[in-house]
């Protein structure tokens, strides 16, 4: 939740939701809400966090980045 008067607090979540919509939601026709929930869960847990490279963390996946931080 953003602090009052600080529009930048919400920027990372807005960026994530934009990516989710562009990479999955707009390109998929879901038959049911249940199918949508499963697809979104799989996108986040399997692809976004484990495979997708993120420029803000040195073109690593979030999982790789967290592993590197624990070693350091």
Per-residue pLDDT tens digits for 5-57: 676 778 888 899 999 999 999 999 999 999 999 999 999 999 999 999 999 99
Is 35 contained in some domain? yes
Is 53 contained in some domain? yes
Is 23 contained in some domain? yes
Q: Which long-range contacts (CB under 8 A, 24 or more apart) does 20-27 make?
A: 20/44, 20/48
Domain housing 25: 10-71
Total structural domains in the chain?
A: 1
Is 3 contained in some domain? no
Is 2 contained in some domain? no
pLDDT at 46: 96
Is 62 contained in some domain? yes
The shares of helix, strand and coil residues in the chain, as percent rounded to the nearest 5, are: 70, 5, 30
pTM of the predicted structure, to 2 decimals: 0.79
């Amino acid at each position: 939740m953003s602090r009052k008067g600080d529009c930048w607090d919400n920027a990372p979540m807005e960026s994530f939701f934009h990516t989710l919509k562009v990479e999955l939601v707009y390109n998929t026709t879901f038959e049911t809400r249940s199918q949508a929930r499963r697809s979104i869960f799989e996108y986040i847990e399997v692809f976004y966090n484990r495979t997708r490279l993120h420029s803000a963390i040195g073109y690593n996946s979030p999982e790789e980045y967290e592993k590197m931080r624990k070693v350091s």
